[in-house]
Every structure is written in C-alpha cells, then in structure tokens.
Structure 1
Amino acid sequence: MKVGIIGAGSLGLLFAAYLSRAFETIIYTRTPAQAEQINQNGIVLKKGDTETSTNVQAFPISDWKGTETVTVVAVKQYHLQTIIEKVNSSAAPNLLFIQNGMGHLKLLEAIKEKNIAVGSVEHGALRENAYTVYHNGEGITNAARFQGTADWLHFLAAKVPNDFPIVIRENYFDMLLKKLIVNAAINPLTAILRVKNGDLIENPYYLQALNNLFEEISDVLRLDDKEAYLQHIHYVCQSTAENRSSMLKDLEAGRMTEVDAILGFLLDEAETLHKKAAQIQGLYFLIKGKEQEERSEQF
C-alpha cells in the first residue's frame, strides 16, 4: 500500500516519519528545494532524547498525480482550494484531510466521487528545518468518514505503528467540533499574549479571559454539556503546558494563521443565528492585524 502526503510542514513531516515505517510513503512539498533536502537527508524525527532518520521519497506538489492508495492532505486550510482543484482532476481514490478548525468542510463538498475522511490530530509537532521535525507531544489522530466508503480508513488505522495510532470515530462533525472548541479558546489567546498553553491556566487573569471566551464560544455553538467542554480545555492547557500553539508559531514565523478556519467559522455561525460574538470578533481582528504586521516586517 502506498501513502502520499501533501504538505511538508510539521504535521506532514510527522506523518511521513511514522507512516513510512508501515507503508511505502511519498511526501509532496511546496518547493522543489525542500524536496531535494528531504531526498538528501531523509526525514529526521526527534522525540525526547532520541533521533531517527527515515528515507522517504519527496517530490514537489506539482508532481502529485494521486496514484497512491491513500493521500493525507496536511496543508493549511488557506492552501486547500488549489489542492482540491488538483484532487478533482486526479485519480486519487481515498483522501484524509487533517486541517484545524471546521471552515474546510464547505471546501470539501466540492470534491466529487472520492472517498474522504477528516482527521483531528492531537500530537504536538514542531518543524525545525526542511527535513527535521520534533515530536513534542504524544497523542492520537482521530479520523471519521466524511463521504464515500471507509474500508480504506479502517485498513490504514489497523496498520499504522502502535505509537502513532489512528482512532476511528463515528461522527465527523462532533469529532471536529471538540477540537474546534479547544483551538478557538486556546490558540488566539496564546497568539496575542505570546505565551505557552499552560500560562492560560496558571495566570489567574488569563484564566478568567479564557473562561469568558469559552462562554461566548459555547453560546454560539449552543453547547449542552458546557462544563465538560471547559474542563477539557483546561486539561489540554495543562497537558500541553510547555507547548506553543500553532497560531502563535505561525505569527512568530510570519505565516498566515488558520484563524479563518477557526474563529471565522464561529463568526459565520454567530451571524447565521443572529448572535453577538464581540470577544470572538475582537480576537479575529487582532489576529488578522498581527498577520499583516508580522508579514510586513519580513519585507
């Protein structure tokens, strides 16, 4: 079985490093230069005090034809439109999308006659260079069928390495919603405050801001068991206390964030329901402003 991975950011490299232990794996990069570096050095995985290198074939994304049995799409949500156009003109039969947020679900509806699953990744990963990734937080990958059949997904989950499990969920919407709530509460606050995840519960003022933001999120999403969701957010902050959120890392690197897929989705929901979401909207504008500021400083 061949597995293709589109995207060689932190998650793309992490998936390639682990899945290549069980499958013939090919990774597709945004630039030819990165593909060349991976072909020269392999993918280096750092975890704790250990470091391993795996030979994985790499090609620029322009070479992807969808001939692999499974394709894992690991690009940011704002790159998906271009990828979906390639998917619709490809032979790719089975695709797993692992974007943050829920804004990409509408985009996936444009894909026809393919078996599609969506995933929610709980691992922590940090790309150190073009071919090196640090696995700084162990977790699982949740996956659920979005459209088509799911036999291929169950086969994939059964064959992945034991230390990189894929857990099949029944309902993709509920699965992604749980991750969205965590991302919407933690990511924008840590990005604006420039703090690690754990600081949100260790600092009593940050904690109050986190709890207040969650109240607005729960109102927009009309959550039933609010206390359980809030406790889960606190647990994630505690269990990933030393981690820097993906949104914070994106801002620090001068990259676009996935704020549209996360807070943008919530603002669309609020508008549909004619609800006010002042905190969510304020954070959305602040993150968009920071994106513009950080990117302009690079030029």
Structure 2
Amino acid sequence: MHIAVVGAGAIGLLVTKLLEDSGHSVVVYSRSEKSFPVLYQSPEGSVELVSFMGTQDTTLLNEVDLVFVATKTYHLESVYPLLHNRTGPIVFLQNGLIRKQVEAALGKDYCLFGSIDHGAGIEEDLLVHTGNGSIRVGDNPLYEPFIKQLAPVVSWADDIDLVLMRKAVLNTLINPLTALLDVPNGELAVNDSLQQAVIAHYDELVVAFPTLEDYVQLEEVFELIKRTATNSSSMRRDIKAGRETEISAIVLPLLEQAEARNAYLPITSYLYSMIQSKKE
C-alpha cells in the first residue's frame, strides 16, 4: 500500500518505520526541509540504519492510498488545508478528543481516528522506540477491510471512541501533574503524596463519569505509571522545550463533557489552568 505520513516527529517517523518494515511504501510529508534521524533503536536496544523518504509536495497527499496525520494537535489547523481535496481515508493519531474539530474542518466521509501507545523519541540522529504498543484505528466501517490490510502494525477498533476516551483519561491523570512538577512518570507511583493526588483525581472523574470504572480502573492507571516510570510525558517535554501543549485537546473536552452533565471537576480544572498559565 502507498501511504503518506504527515508529521516528521517521533510518532510520525515510528509509524513510518513500522509500516515500511511490514512491506508498505511510505513517504513522510513535512512543511519544510529537514534532516531525519539515520539510526533507529528498538525497545530491546538494538540499533540499525534507517532512511526515510521525505517530501514537501502536497499533491502527493491526494494520490496515496492512505494518509496518517501524526502531528501535534495544535498543528492541525495548518494541516486541514492540505487535505481539503483528498477523497480517500485519513487517519488522525493525535492525543485527546479531536473528533469535533476534525469533522468541522473536513467532514465525516474520509476521517478515521486512531490511538497509538508505542513510546518514541528523537535524540539527535537517533529515533528511539522506547516501548512496544499498538495502533488502533476505527470509525467509518466502510474502511475496515482497508485498515485490516495494515495488520499486524495497525488493528481495527469498533469501539474507537471508547479507546480514545480511555487514553484521554489516562493522559489527564498523568501528563499535567508530571509536567507541572517536572518529574518522570514513575514519581507518581513512588511518592506517597503524589499517589494520593492521582487517586483523588481519579475519584473526581469517576463521580462525573460513573461508567469510567468500566474501562479505566485505578489499578490500570498505576500499572501504566510503573510501566512508563522512566518516561517523560509529552506535556512535560513540551513545557521544558517552551512549546505549546496539547492540554486543550486532552483535558478541555473532559471539562466540557462534565459541565454538560452539571458536574464540576475542581482538580481537573485547576491542572488545566496551571498548564495554560505556562503558555501565558
């Protein structure tokens, strides 16, 4: 399959590498000329040479079989114009709950939504695959057979909205706190006071969303924290680098949904405001 990946960050390049290894032809679109990493390090620590094919030709985005959008959520506004004329499937892999804004910009016909929980980072010329995970995509059932051609790298998820909600909740419980305190994820599990803060935050979300316990249990939250103990959350990395964060895509939709239920989330609201203050 001929595929384009929009976004030349760690996640975009990792998706490219995984799809290429599975036999697909992949080109990476970036807005400007840039040098890509020339080495790839697997989760097991082995290192190999890589060569990514890049392009700035936007016409290619209308010609390939499939487009993955792997930019940060705050770059989506600049991506939409590139895809207005496309009449084929587009998979959005952003953190957060972005369906409303994507469909407002591009409609529903060709948009699919996905969740990726691989870990990845870039260190100079090295693409580091920090942890194996999955890529799940779903929404328009018309494209289910199409997406299944990408197995085993990508799988189809009938319940993609639930998958994305689950990821948003996990990110809400971990990312803002680690970003504000400038600590790795694992600190939330070894520091007793921070443990209690995570528990209180989880309890607040459960009160607002009573079915939350059905798809995100507290034990799973701490399992994820321990599994990614040495990782630095994307929000923490963005703040340290002076970049905008994805707080509006991850946390704001939860606040809006709670408000629609006449529920108030004081901890969530406080963390949201504190992260926003970093931008200001």
TM-score in terms of structure 1 length: 0.86
Q: Which residue of 2 aligns with 1:55?
A: 51
Q: Which residue of 1 aligns with 2:107?
A: 112
How far does residue 60 in structure 1 lie from its aligned partner after superposition? 2.8
Aligned residue type for 2:133: G
Which among 194, 208, 221 is matched to residue 182 of structure 2? 194
Distance 2:100 2:121 in 1: 28
How far does residue 132 in structure 1 lie from its aligned partner after superposition? 3.2
Q: Which residue of 2 aligns with 1:279?
A: 267
Contact 1:144 1:170 in 2 (8 A): yes
How far does residue 147 in structure 1 lie from its aligned partner after superposition? 6.4
Q: Which residue of 2 aligns with 1:297?
A: none
Contact 1:114 1:148 in 2 (8 A): no
1:257 and 2:252 equivalent? no
Q: Which residue of 1 aligns with 2:163?
A: 175
Counterparts of residues 29-40 of structure 1 (less than 5 Å): 29-32=30-33, 34=34, 37-38=35-36
Distance 2:3 2:9 in 1: 17
Q: Which residue of 2 aligns with 1:121?
A: 116
SS of the residue corresponding to residue 19 of structure 1 reads helix
SS of the residue corresponding to residue 276 of structure 2 reads helix
Which among 137, 141, 162 is matched to residue 143 of structure 1? 137
Consecutive unaligned residues in structure 2, runs of 5 or more: none
1:24 and 2:25 equivalent? yes
Q: Which residue of 1 aligns with 2:8?
A: 8
CA RMSD in angstroms comes to 2.0
How far does residue 228 in structure 1 lie from its aligned partner after superposition? 5.1
Contact 2:120 2:127 in 1 (8 A): yes
Distance 2:96 2:108 in 1: 24
Q: Which residue of 2 aligns with 1:211?
A: 199
| C-alpha spacing 1:43/1:60, structure 2 compared with 1 (3 Å) | farther
How many residues matched? 277
Q: Which residue of 2 aligns with 1:87?
A: 83
Aligned residue type for 1:128: E
SS of the residue corresponding to residue 150 of structure 1 reads helix
| C-alpha spacing 1:112/1:147, structure 2 compared with 1 (3 Å) | farther
How far does residue 226 in structure 1 lie from its aligned partner after superposition? 6.0
Aligned residue type for 2:170: V
How far does residue 168 in structure 1 lie from its aligned partner after superposition? 2.1
1:73 and 2:69 equivalent? yes
CA offsets 1:15-39 (integer angstroms, 9 cap, x no match):
112212221110011322x1xx23x
Which among 143, 147, 150 is matched to residue 153 of structure 1? 147
Distance 2:197 2:90 in 1: 38
| C-alpha spacing 1:114/1:61, structure 2 compared with 1 (3 Å) | farther
| C-alpha spacing 1:61/1:97, structure 2 compared with 1 (3 Å) | farther
| C-alpha spacing 1:85/1:227, structure 2 compared with 1 (3 Å) | closer
CA offsets 1:221-267 (integer angstroms, 9 cap, x no match):
33253695211111100111111111111111111111001111111
How far does residue 85 in structure 1 lie from its aligned partner after superposition? 2.7
**More displaced 10-residue stretch of structure 1: 186-195 or 210-219:** 210-219
Which among 34, 40, 54 is matched to residue 45 of structure 1? 40
| C-alpha spacing 1:261/1:113, structure 2 compared with 1 (3 Å) | closer
